[in-house]
Structure 1
Amino acid sequence: MNIKIVGRKVNLRENFKELVQRKLSKFDRIFDEDADATVTVTLEKNRQTVEIMIKQRGMLYRAEATAPEMNEALDDVVAALGNQIRRNKKRLERAQKMQPVELPDTYYDTPDEEDEPEIAKRKTFYVKVMTVEEAILQMEMLGHTFFMYRDGDTGEIDVVYKRRDGKYGVLEPEG
């Protein structure tokens, strides 16, 4: 796994970078060598936020944790990512078309008994061509936290969403 470590508003020490390498090496048996992991550490006031995002074959795995200490946040985010992978183990195996991966139960928390997600509702609707600003306005008028639309410039289907910090984000297809 290729690991990139980024510090925002903080200088990262070498021993922390080595700790990140060691903690993420536990996922080497799950992800291929071509998987890309980005670890972002952000300092805000007296809180440290660690975010880990792993990309492999079009699949994206992300977890984030905030704590007063950087190492504590790292432990929390690695555990959260491990739990996420554990819960989605069967879907992960099917998506990656790989041999079943045996993960030790002692490393992760016990997942809920959930094999397949239950789809409660399915909707179809016309995807209108509009700008990002129009999509945000439409989303706000509907009182939703996300909205799907066709971008007028690219012709691609994008999703605009409201972030926890009150700002907006746009999801665009890659490639």
Structure 2
Amino acid sequence: MDIIISGKNMQVTEGLRETVNRKLDKLDKFFQKGARVKVTMTVEKNRQIIEVSVPFSSAIIRAEEETEDMYTSIDKVVDLLERQIRKHKTKLERRKNNGRTIRFENIPEYKEDEDDEPKIVKTKKFAMKPMDDEEAILQMELLGHNFFVYKHADTNETNVIYKRKDGNYGLIEPEI
């Protein structure tokens, strides 16, 4: 595995680099030679965030963890990646990936319960009145939601405003 480590708002120390390499080497048995792993470590105030992505032929495995200690974040992200690999093994096999990048023989079976499969459990309908972005944020905050769908007053297009992990807001608007 080729592990590429970068840091945002921090200097990646040799100790962190060695820990990431050692922990991610456990996952090496799941991938063929040449698998490229991208690791980004970020520090934001008291938050120590690690993001790991492993792109391969027809999919990508990605995990992100955030704690107050980078070493704890590393441990948690490796556990999360292992669970994702196990869980998605059958889905990847169904795509006829033929193991070009991933070695399925090393991945333990994941027993799917019928309740594990995500499904739509609730449907909501509501009238969308035209509003601007600021009013949509206010409505979202008043409702206590982390996103809000609305019709933009100027463009008459359906937009989505959402609250980001960093406390700021994101806006999704249709491409014209």
If the length of structure 1 is used for normalisation, what is the TM-score?
0.60
Distance 1:165 1:102 in 2: 40
Instruction: Specify the code of the residue in structure 1 equivalent to 2:149.
Output: M
Equivalent pairs, count: 168
**Matching of residues 1-175 of structure 1 within 5 Å:** 4-24=4-24, 26=27, 29=30, 37-42=38-43, 44-45=45-46, 48-54=48-54, 61-68=62-69, 70-94=70-94, 97-99=96-98, 101-105=104-108, 113-114=113-114, 116-123=117-124, 131-149=132-150, 158-164=159-165, 166-170=167-171
State the Cα deviation string for residues 59-105 of structure 1 (Å, max 9, x = none): 5633213243x3332122111222234334444555x5524734444
SS of structure 1 residue aligned to 2:82:
helix
Instruction: Specify the code of the residue in structure 2 equivalent to 1:98.
Output: N
SS of structure 2 residue aligned to 1:11:
coil
- What percent identity do the matched residue pairs reach? 40
Give 1:146 deviation, angstroms.
1.1
> Do the aligned residues in 1 keep the contact of 2:4 with 2:36 (CA within 8 Å)?
no
Distance 1:124 1:20 in 2: 46
CA pair 98-130 structure 1, distance change in 2 beyond 3 A = farther
Name which structure has the greater RCO, CA cutoff 8 Å, separation 6+. 2
If the length of structure 2 is used for normalisation, what is the TM-score?
0.59
SS of structure 2 residue aligned to 1:80:
helix
* Bigger helix fraction: 2
CA pair 29-167 structure 1, distance change in 2 beyond 3 A = same
Instruction: Specify the code of the residue in structure 2 equivalent to 1:78.
Output: V
Pick the structure with greater CA Rg: 2
CA pair 146-53 structure 1, distance change in 2 beyond 3 A = farther
SS of structure 2 residue aligned to 1:82:
helix
